[in-house]
């Protein structure tokens, strides 16, 4: 069920939330709810001047720089209500374990990275964060088209299309501005929804990202996530005939939508190598989901390129010698 519900939409009777500007199903303008009538507090937030992330203002945690990108922050007090997370996926990984995971990741990056990357890198900052997202349940009418190997005859592919009803439960959809969409999607695969707790039990010392986008304003993000999930299910559940697929496209018509706001745990690491800064994200529950930026070894790349050039020259010389011998 959606949190902070008000009376349902007058046109389609779908549930509305206090912060909704329009119905998420039929787009009818929602009835106006004044901020002081809302149960959602008006809060002070820290706004990053670099990536634009909004963090919960906390005198205890308080930091003048963004937990995501380390840019300077300013205090901001919006006039509109700030949406509050009700649920949280807490930390199951300690800072020490996350630091070890970072070192192991730096060692595992392969030949083209500096040999001393793990030992010569200097850790500058370890910041636990709780980034924001929506937990979505939805019903949708899905129209799809795709190519598959079913009925292809002498061709490799044959076109197919169709329509079906689908239900979606507990979809995690990113709402973060501090993390990129790609980073969020990589993290989402490691969360265990069975670990959900009330957000008021948030871990001490973690920066909490605030929701910047109201649900009605983020409709395209929600629809996009449902369309991606529908495309994957159409293939895995063999709704599309065949065993190989390409050009899978979906379009959805929402029939029901409810959301809960959730914050999800992760660590942001900042480290330096040869004076240059890099950032790595470590999952707050599963350190196998560790990724980020790291330098390449120019010397190793140059060595490999030189080796390839030498090998090509040798092959050409041998070919010329063979041609000369054959001609004589």
pLDDT of residue 259: 84
Q: Please measure the distance between the N-terminal and C-terminal CA atoms of the chain and give it in whole angstroms.
A: 88
Question: Residue 197: is its pLDDT beyond 80?
Answer: yes
Token digits of residue 142: 């899905």
Confidence band, pLDDT 50/70/90 cuts, at residue 209: confident
pLDDT of residue 14: 79
Distance CA 270, CA 85 (A): 27
Domain boundaries, the chain: 5-296, 300-328
pLDDT of residue 221: 80
Q: Which of 33-42, 214-223, 238-247, 259-268 has the lowest mean pLDDT?
A: 33-42
Confidence band, pLDDT 50/70/90 cuts, at residue 269: very high
- Per-residue model confidence as pLDDT tens digits over 155-168: 899 999 999 999 99
**Neighbouring residues of 305: CB distance < 8 A, sequence distance ≥ 6:** none
The pLDDT mean for the chain works out to 84
Q: In what order do the strands lie in the sheet with 73-76?
A: 54-56, 45-48, 73-76
pLDDT of residue 115: 92
pLDDT of residue 98: 96
**Percent of the chain residues topping a pLDDT of 70:** 79
Per-residue CA distances from 218 to 94, 181, 211 (Å): 33, 14, 11
Distance CA 146, CA 164 (A): 14
- Per-residue model confidence as pLDDT tens digits over 105-146: 999 999 999 999 999 999 988 999 999 999 999 999 999 999
Confidence band, pLDDT 50/70/90 cuts, at residue 236: very high
Question: Residue 59: is its pLDDT beyond 80?
Answer: no
pLDDT of residue 99: 95
């Amino acid at each position: 069920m959606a949190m902070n519900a008000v009376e349902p939409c007058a046109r389609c009777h779908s549930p509305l939330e206090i912060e909704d500007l329009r119905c998420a199903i039929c787009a009818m303008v929602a009835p106006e709810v004044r901020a002081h009538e809302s149960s959602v507090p008006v809060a002070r937030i820290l706004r990053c001047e670099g990536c634009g992330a909004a963090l919960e203002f906390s005198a205890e945690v308080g930091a003048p720089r963004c937990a995501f990108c380390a840019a300077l922050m300013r205090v901001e007090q919006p006039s509109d209500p700030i949406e509050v997370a009700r649920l949280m996926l807490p930390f199951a990984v300690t800072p020490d374990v996350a630091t070890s995971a970072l070192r192991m990741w730096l060692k595992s990056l392969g030949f083209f990275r500096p040999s001393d990357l793990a030992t010569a890198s200097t850790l500058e900052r370890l910041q636990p964060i709780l980034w924001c997202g929506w937990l979505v349940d939805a019903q949708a009418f899905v129209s799809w088209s795709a190519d598959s190997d079913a009925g292809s005859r002498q061709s490799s592919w044959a076109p197919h299309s169709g329509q079906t009803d689908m239900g979606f439960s507990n979809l995690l959809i990113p709402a973060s501005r501090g993390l990129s969409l790609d980073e969020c999607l990589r993290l989402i695969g490691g969360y265990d929804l069975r670990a959900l707790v009330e957000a008021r039990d948030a871990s001490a010392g973690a920066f909490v990202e605030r929701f910047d986008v109201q649900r009605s304003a983020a409709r395209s993000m929600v629809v996009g996530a449902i369309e991606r999930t529908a495309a994957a299910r159409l293939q895995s559940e063999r709704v599309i005939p065949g065993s190989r697929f390409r050009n899978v496209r979906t379009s959805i018509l929402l029939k029901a939508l409810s959301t809960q706001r959730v914050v999800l745990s992760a660590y942001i690491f900042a480290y330096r190598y040869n004076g240059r800064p890099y950032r790595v994200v470590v999952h707050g529950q599963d350190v196998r989901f560790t990724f980020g930026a790291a330098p390449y070894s120019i010397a190793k790349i140059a060595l490999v390129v030189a080796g390839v050039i030498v090998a090509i020259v040798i092959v050409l010389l041998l070919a010329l010698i063979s041609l000369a011998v054959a001609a004589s």
